[in-house]
């Protein structure tokens, strides 16, 4: 991208919880006391699936000025992203290990605290900021309650889940989350990351973080297949899914294979009346960082044809993660019309709450 286009909507950037104790003032009395007694507040709950200081996780010039966790300073986010890219809106994803704690109740308490902290310490400070609701995803009933509580604040525009959890996300046990999401017009944002209840791949635990990171794309593919196969979009026809930091270029091959399997095996899941590729194009969106683009221009052109839709890509910087340098947030070689859709139209179509806000602010 030669220069940032004013008014773009960034659909994936990150806010870091500086320390666990940051959230304590936002816990209710019981849990504040409990976590103090156990010393939980002084433990780090950074997630091992997203090590915050790995090269992929922080662009060199997006390090926090004082050595704090990347993404934990409002001032950095404002100057390096909101102002630099002249954004209209930015959808913030706050991923923190308290969201994947095994104790459902402690996790819920921290998720509530995180949502309230996001509203007060971030959303209140800049009208361009929007956020995803964080939930204890493995406790769908509790997650749905939290969605109901927070959805009243229309600056929360989606629900955050991880690419790797206990069960594939199409499983019916997760449906209370989707019911709440559809009702409130909140897309489900699935972000790279794992609670490591399973190895990151079917072949066990790899040695290197690079392998885990690459494997995220395979988990996204598995989630796509699960959501489609289980009929989530049949049950919740208005539901949208956003895959964030998933990579994009694996999608055509995945669709071809899924469609091929569907033709033979659809009798196993007779509610699936459309080929998976059509369902995916109707219901699933992808943020563009990282894109994992091919090296040659003509390959990219062919690949965009294979993707077969201009509606599925959403602009993102993935701040402070390191996928590009300077202002090159849009992969080279994308046609102008697609770029415009990606920066403006597609995000508005995906996040109904952004349009409402825009209209509200006009009034």
Q: Which of 352, 350, 319, 334 is nearest to 87 (CA)?
A: 319
- 93-112 residues in contact with another protein (CB under 8 A) are none
In the structure, how many helices (H) and strands (E) does the chain have? 13, 8
Q: Which of 72, 114, 132, 229 binds another protein (CB under 8 A)?
A: 229
Which of these ranges, 9-17, 88-96, 147-155, 230-238, lies near another protein under the rule CB under 8 A? 230-238
Angstrom distances, CA of residue 343 to CA of 291, 310, 312: 15, 12, 11
What is the nearest approach in angstroms of another protein to the Cβ of residue 280?
A: 13
Please, how many CA atoms are within 13 Å of residue 100, restricted to the half-sphere of its CB? 22
Q: Show the binding pattern over residues 206-225: x = contacts another protein (CB under 8 A), - = does not.
A: xxxxxx-xxx-xxx-xxx-x
Query: For the chain, what is the largest distance between any 2 Cα atoms, rounded to a whole number of angstroms?
Result: 60
State yes or no: residue 81 binds another protein (CB under 8 A).
no
- 109-128 residues in contact with another protein (CB under 8 A) are none
Q: Show the binding pattern over residues 35-54: x = contacts another protein (CB under 8 A), - = does not.
A: -------------------x
What is the nearest approach in angstroms of another protein to the Cβ of residue 126?
A: 29
What is the nearest approach in angstroms of another protein to the Cβ of residue 230?
A: 6
**Which residues are bridge partners to 133 per DSSP?**
159
State yes or no: residue 173 binds another protein (CB under 8 A).
no
State yes or no: residue 149 binds another protein (CB under 8 A).
no
- 263-282 residues in contact with another protein (CB under 8 A) are 263-272, 277
Give the number of other Cβ atoms within 10 Å of residue 267's Cβ: 7
Q: In sequence order, what DSSP letters do the residues of 86-151 get, joined into one string?
A: TEEEEEEE---GGGG-SSHHHHHHHHHHHHHHHHHHTGGG-TTEEEEEE--TTSHHHHHHHHHHHT
What is the nearest approach in angstroms of another protein to the Cβ of residue 308?
A: 8
Which of these ranges, 20-28, 89-97, 110-118, 165-173, lies near another protein under the rule CB under 8 A? 165-173
Query: Order of strands across the sheet with 313-314?
Result: 8-14, 87-93, 129-134, 156-164, 188-194, 241-244, 284-287, 313-314
Residue 194 DSSP SS3: strand
Q: Show the binding pattern over residues 278-317: x = contacts another protein (CB under 8 A), - = does not.
A: ------------x-xxxx---x--x--xx-x---------
**Which residues are bridge partners to 91 per DSSP?**
130
State yes or no: residue 331 binds another protein (CB under 8 A).
no
What is the nearest approach in angstroms of another protein to the Cβ of residue 180?
A: 18
């Amino acid at each position: 991208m030669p220069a940032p286009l004013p008014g773009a909507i960034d659909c994936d950037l990150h806010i870091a919880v500086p320390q666990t104790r940051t959230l304590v003032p936002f816990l209710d009395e019981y849990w504040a006391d409990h976590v103090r007694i156990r010393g939980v507040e002084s433990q780090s709950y950074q997630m091992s699936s997203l090590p915050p200081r790995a090269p992929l996780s922080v662009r060199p010039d997006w390090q926090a000025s004082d050595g704090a966790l990347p993404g934990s300073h409002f001032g950095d986010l404002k100057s390096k992203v909101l102002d630099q890219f002249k954004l209209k809106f930015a959808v913030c994803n706050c991923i923190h290990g308290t969201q994947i704690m095994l104790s459902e109740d402690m996790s819920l308490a921290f998720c509530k605290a995180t949502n309230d902290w996001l509203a007060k310490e971030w959303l209140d400070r800049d009208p361009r900021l929007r956020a995803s609701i964080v939930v204890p995803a493995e406790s769908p009933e509790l997650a749905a309650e939290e969605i109901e509580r927070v959805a009243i604040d229309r600056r929360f525009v989606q629900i955050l889940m991880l690419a790797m959890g206990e069960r594939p996300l199409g499983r019916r046990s997760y449906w209370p989350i989707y019911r709440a999401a559809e009702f409130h017009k909140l897309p489900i944002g699935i972000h790279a990351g794992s609670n490591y209840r399973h190895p990151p791949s079917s072949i066990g635990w790899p040695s290197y973080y690079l392998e885990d990171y690459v494997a995220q794309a395979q988990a996204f593919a598995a989630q796509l297949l699960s959501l489609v196969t289980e009929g989530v979009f049949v049950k919740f026809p208005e539901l949208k899914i956003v895959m964030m930091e998933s990579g994009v270029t694996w999608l055509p091959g995945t669709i071809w294979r899924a469609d091929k399997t569907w033709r033979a095996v659809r009798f196993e899941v007779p509610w699936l009346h459309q080929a998976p590729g059509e369902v995916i194009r109707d219901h699933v969106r992808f943020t563009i960082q990282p894109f994992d683009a091919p090296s040659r221009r003509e390959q990219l052109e062919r690949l965009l044809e294979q993707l077969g839709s201009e509606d599925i890509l959403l602009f993102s910087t993935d701040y402070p993660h390191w996928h590009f340098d300077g202002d090159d947030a849009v992969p080279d070689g994308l046609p102008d019309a697609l770029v415009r859709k990606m920066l403006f139209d597609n995000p508005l179509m995906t996040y109904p709450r952004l349009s409402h806000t825009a209209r509200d602010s006009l009034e």
